[in-house]
């Protein structure tokens, strides 16, 4: 058995930040899977939220975050996240991330939905995630204590006590066990690809959720999937996120008739759950929705990646409205963890989108995700330093291993079901019907993490009999104070908090 001090699964911003931090004191093996370009991090356009502007304050950033979270945020963790943001920007700049600046050399700050102030730092206009990921990736490649493998994690190895002691991997030809003397970290991203229409890469099928579930970890708030309001769908079926920063710069949503979607232009900068639902309802009434950025000054220069992609499709962002539609974007729930990534399983950590820390509540505030990735990654190393080392325990034989080929085979069948029954608007009959189909899929694809993650999301959505944040139930259209708490589920129990469920 090969071994490292830390085994990190994932090569997005959370995984790479954690690997770099942990490598200051121990050797790290990064299981990079498809590499950083396959991560959601590299696709992030808008930027990173931080109260670094004149007159802004982390307290105000925290207030906006709590407001967006619709009563389900962990307030203390939100305050810690917002307080850490300015130092995160400074650290990334020192690492070489070329944040955009104004002519005087100060950070250029954008505004996005739910933020009362302009506090979004960005790089390359609309390519922030790519620039941050690349800087971290190059630093990891240079680090003498970091080994990077293009292998996929297919199981969490545990000892007889249940402690995580390594990862089972698959390189396309054989399985192997990579031991972890201190910790295993999961930074595997979200679940957007389960819904078909998504801003996420095809690999975002909830692998971390499935791996952690089979390792015995507690999962939380899986029903809260954020649907980004503005995706552009190409003729080839490819989806591109059209950054919320465009609306922050003055773009507005209109129907095919040119009528404003919102009577008050300020409503174009409401939180994502509100905007996505408004567009979905307009579409249900037979309308098409467009983003009109024709009055945004120098829009093509300010958003070069978006403008170039649209230009290749024959569309001009500066002179014509662009058709947009909602798509699955971000998972607020995930593996329950603190801000250092500790989960309910000793030795197992979860970071970034695959973790549920409570900072996003029922609806993520724009551009808080990249911030959370870096904050968690930097805190991870201190937490790992307190983990026991030099274990002599032997890994038990795996009870279950993920089979990536089954995820690929089932996705074309799974995605339409999730979009239609577990999408933006849900109800009990649709969720129960979806669970029945998912149970049949699980019998045919027992090694599919995608089917398992989809089932857990649907079960969570069925349990939460209210509408709150990104979770909308047509049969329970208002928030219910009885559900003002996280949902929790794990392999060892079949109850959400104190309410038993049936499947």
In the chain, the percentage of residues whose pLDDT exceeds 70 is: 97
Could you read off the pLDDT of 418-455 as tens digits, one per residue?
999 999 999 999 999 999 999 999 999 999 999 999 99
Bridge pairing between strands 334-336 and 219-220: antiparallel
Beta-bridge mates of residue 196 = none
As a whole number of Å, the end-to-end CA separation of the chain is 40
Is residue 360 domain-resident? no
Residue 272 is a catalytic residue: yes
Is residue 160 domain-resident? no
**Angle in degrees, 0-180, between the axes of helices 75-95 and 128-142, rounded to the nearest 10:** 70
E strand segments, 307-416: 322-331, 334-336, 348-350, 355-356
Q: Which residue out of 119, 272, 379, 468 is catalytically annotated?
A: 272
Domains in the chain: how many in total? Answer: 2
Domain containing 418 — which CATH number? 1.20.58.100
Calculate mean pLDDT across residues 466-474. 97
pTM (two decimals): 0.94
Instruction: Find, among 225, 236, 212, 466, the residue nearest to 346 by Cα.
Output: 212
Domain containing 255 — which CATH number? 3.90.700.10
Is residue 184 domain-resident? no
Could you read off the pLDDT of 392-426 as tens digits, one per residue?
568 888 989 999 999 999 999 999 999 999 999 99
Are the beta carbons of 239 and 198 closer than 8 angstroms? yes
Is residue 279 domain-resident? yes
Is residue 185 domain-resident? no
Q: Which of 273, 294, 328 is the last residue of a domain?
A: 328
Is residue 428 domain-resident? yes
- Domain range for 462: 402-500
Is residue 50 domain-resident? no
Q: Which of 270, 296, 328 is the last residue of a domain?
A: 328
> Are residues 493 and 408 part of one domain?
yes
> Are residues 321 and 411 part of one domain?
no
Q: Which of 328, 350, 374 is the last residue of a domain?
A: 328
- Determine the distance from the C-alpha atom of residue 274 to the mean position of all C-alpha atoms in its chain, rounded to a whole number: 19
Spatial neighbors of 30 by CB under 8 A, at least 6 apart, are 8, 10, 11, 15, 16, 19, 140, 146, 147, 148, 149
Indicate the range of 33-42, 305-314, 357-366, 428-437 predicted with least confidence.
Answer: 33-42
pLDDT tier for residue 493 given thresholds of 50, 70 and 90: low
Is residue 390 domain-resident? no
Separation between Cα atoms, residue 407 and residue 205, nearest integer Å:
8
Separation between Cα atoms, residue 126 and residue 496, nearest integer Å:
39
Calculate mean pLDDT across residues 99-113. 93
């Amino acid at each position: 058995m090969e071994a490292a001090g830390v085994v990190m699964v994932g090569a997005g911003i959370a995984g790479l930040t954690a690997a770099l931090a942990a490598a200051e004191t121990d050797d790290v093996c990064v299981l990079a899977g498809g590499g950083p370009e396959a991560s959601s991090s590299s696709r992030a356009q808008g930027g990173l939220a931080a109260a670094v502007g004149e007159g802004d304050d982390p307290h105000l950033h925290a207030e906006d975050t709590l407001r967006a979270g619709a009563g389900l945020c962990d307030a203390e963790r939100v305050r810690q996240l917002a307080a850490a943001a300015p130092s995160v920007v400074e650290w990334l700049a020192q690492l070489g991330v070329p944040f955009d600046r104004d002519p005087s050399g100060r950070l250029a700050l954008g505004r996005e939905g739910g933020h009362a102030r302009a506090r979004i730092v960005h790089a390359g206009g609309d390519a922030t995630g790519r620039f941050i990921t690349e800087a971290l990736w190059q630093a990891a490649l240079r680090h003498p204590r970091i080994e990077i493998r293009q292998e996929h994690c297919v199981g969490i190895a545990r000892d007889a006590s249940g402690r995580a002691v390594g990862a089972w991997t698959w390189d396309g030809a054989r399985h192997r066990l990579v031991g972890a003397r201190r910790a295993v970290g999961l930074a595997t991203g979200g679940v957007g690809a389960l819904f078909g229409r998504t801003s996420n890469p095809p690999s975002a099928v909830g692998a971390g959720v499935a791996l952690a579930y089979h390792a015995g970890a507690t999962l939380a708030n899986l029903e809260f999937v954020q649907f980004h309001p503005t995706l552009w769908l190409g003729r080839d079926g490819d989806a591109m996120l059209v950054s919320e920063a465009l609306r922050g710069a003055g773009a507005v949503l209109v129907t095919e008739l040119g009528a404003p979607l919102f009577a008050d232009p300020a409503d174009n900068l409401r939180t994502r759950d509100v905007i996505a639902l408004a567009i979905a309802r307009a579409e249900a009434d037979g309308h098409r929705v467009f983003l009109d950025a024709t009055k945004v000054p120098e829009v093509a220069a300010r958003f070069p990646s978006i403008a170039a992609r649209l230009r290749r499709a024959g569309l001009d962002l500066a002179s014509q409205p662009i058709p947009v539609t909602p798509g699955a974007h971000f998972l607020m729930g995930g593996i329950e963890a603190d801000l250092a990534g500790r989960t309910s399983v000793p030795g197992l950590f979860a970071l970034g989108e695959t973790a549920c820390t409570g900072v996003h509540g029922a609806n993520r505030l724009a551009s808080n995700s990249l911030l959370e990735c870096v904050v968690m990654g930097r805190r991870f190393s201190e937490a790992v330093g307190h983990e026991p080392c030099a274990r002599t325990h032997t890994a038990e034989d795996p009870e279950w291993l993920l089979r990536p080929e089954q995820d690929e085979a089932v996705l074309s069948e799974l995605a339409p079901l999730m979009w239609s029954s577990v999408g933006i608007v849900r109800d009990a009959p649709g969720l129960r019907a979806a669970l029945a189909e998912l149970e049949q899929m699980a019998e045919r694809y027992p090694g599919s993490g995608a089917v398992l993650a989809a089932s857990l999301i649907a079960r969570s959505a069925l349990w939460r009999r209210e509408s709150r944040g990104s979770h909308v139930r047509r049969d329970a259209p208002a928030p219910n104070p009885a559900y003002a708490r996280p949902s929790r589920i794990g392999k060892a129990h079949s109850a959400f908090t104190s309410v038993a469920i049936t499947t």
